[in-house]
Amino acid sequence: MNAAKKYAASSGGQTADIEISTDGRLSLNGTEIESRLVEASGFSMLRIGSISYNVYVQKIDNYRYNIWVKHIVIPVTLETPLSKVLNEVVRSHTKKVSEFDVKAPMPGLIREVLVSPGDHVEPGTPLIVLEAMKMENEIRSAVQGTVKLITVKKQEAVEKDQMLIEIEAKTDE
């Protein structure tokens, strides 16, 4: 792969090395994968081999994303080799707690609130079930921490980007 973009992707405690070549070829942990990504009106279709997936990517900050696949939210951190080294240096010299807001990725209706204030959550912990476009979507935590505040109730209508839950998240172990 020539002039490939390299990333370290992590989710749920697992890490993978991803390379994307200038011609769109994808390599996962050194193995090239037959894939194609087509983007249209905020959503994308990802084909891996002969299987296609509808995906929606919600950017949280410079490195963290929520990827929606088949009504499941997968919190992912993407880092370049340089950003990964810089973040490790910063983390080794700081230990802080920050607030992390979980926001609605689209308008919908809260079907279930699965956590309470004070609950400990890990990346991937289910937080809320949001009904949107007649489908139930499970919103999961992207961080480790403690639920500080829940701003919505069951059966409440929410708008896109409305804050749902505030988590006091550890940014360093």
Could you report the per-residue pLDDT of 82-140, keeping only the tens digit for each?
A: 777 776 766 665 555 578 889 998 899 999 999 999 999 998 899 999 998 888 989 99
pTM of the full predicted structure?
Answer: 0.49
Cα 164 to Cα 104: distance, rounded to the nearest angstrom: 7
Give the model's pLDDT for residue 159. 93
pLDDT band per the 50, 70, 90 thresholds, residue 147: very high
Please compute the mean of the pLDDT values over residues 2-20 and round it to a whole number.
80
Residue 48, both tokens: 């891996």
* Helix/strand/coil for 85: helix
Q: What angle do CA 123, 126, 132 make, to 5 degrees?
A: 120
Identify the structural domains of the chain with CATH numbers, from first to last.
5-81 (3.30.700.30), 96-170 (2.40.50.100)
Q: What is the mean pLDDT of the chain?
A: 83
Give the model's pLDDT for residue 51. 85
